[in-house]
Amino acid sequence: MRRREFVALLGGAGLLFIHIMPGTAGDGAVDRLSLPGLIEFNGESYRLAWSSHPTSHYYKQEYLPPGQTSERFQRMVLIEATVRGVDVNGAVAAQVNTLNKRKSTDPTVNFAASRNPDNGEIILDFILSAQDPKGEDVVEWNAYRYAALRGKGGESGVLLFGISWRAYGDDATNFLRRLKSVRPAEVKALASHPLPVVRPVD
């Protein structure tokens, strides 16, 4: 199961788990945000593994540790930018609305949001679960940091800097237990990490 098969964000703009064909992976991934091929986060390196530019104002890039794939990963860093038509509050509200709708079919769904009063950034972290096509349980925890971004013409936009963790099969229950103890430190690391400086290119 690819990670773009769960829910949509930004009212259909497609930041998380959208059911689409996989993008270019590995060495063929195209950097459209003027970022380095390797991203460092919390003492670990992540390489650009997948990218997408589905509309003129929306960009998405996924980074994985060496040896992991988009089809079956344990950790991921994602960087996304929309440079027109949405602000931080709107982006978070769209994701929360999607998560609330998902609760009817996914009892694992749980989320929390916190706002930085100094800069208006919001961190939303949430849990999802599903089964892959073979019937194996998959549990995922995500923490998304939303920050204001100005588009090329000065339009309001959003930068998303996020982390995603997954567990599969028999490890799903232990994953959720471990998450309780490590989640606060990971959210803190996400909040304090320098935001990438993106320069979208077509």
Which tens digits make up the pLDDT trace of 49-62? Answer: 999 988 888 999 99
Q: What are the sequence ranges of the domains in the chain?
A: 3-192
The predicted structure's pLDDT at residue 10 = 33
What is the C-alpha R_g of the chain? 16
Are the C-beta atoms of 168 and 158 separated by less than 8 Å? no
Element (H, E) at 189: helix 171-192
Cα–Cα distance between 61 and 37 in angstroms, integer?
10
The predicted structure's pLDDT at residue 142 = 96
Amino acid at the residue 39: I
Q: Model pTM?
A: 0.87
Question: Class assignment of domain 3-192?
Answer: alpha beta
Tokens of residue 129, six digits: 């679960």
The predicted structure's pLDDT at residue 24 = 38
The predicted structure's pLDDT at residue 201 = 86
Residues of the chain with pLDDT under 70: 1-28, 151-154
Tokens of residue 7, six digits: 């829910």
Q: 3-state DSSP call for residue 76? A: strand
Amino acid at the residue 169: G
Are the C-beta atoms of 89 and 115 separated by less than 8 Å? no
Q: 3-state DSSP call for residue 125? A: strand
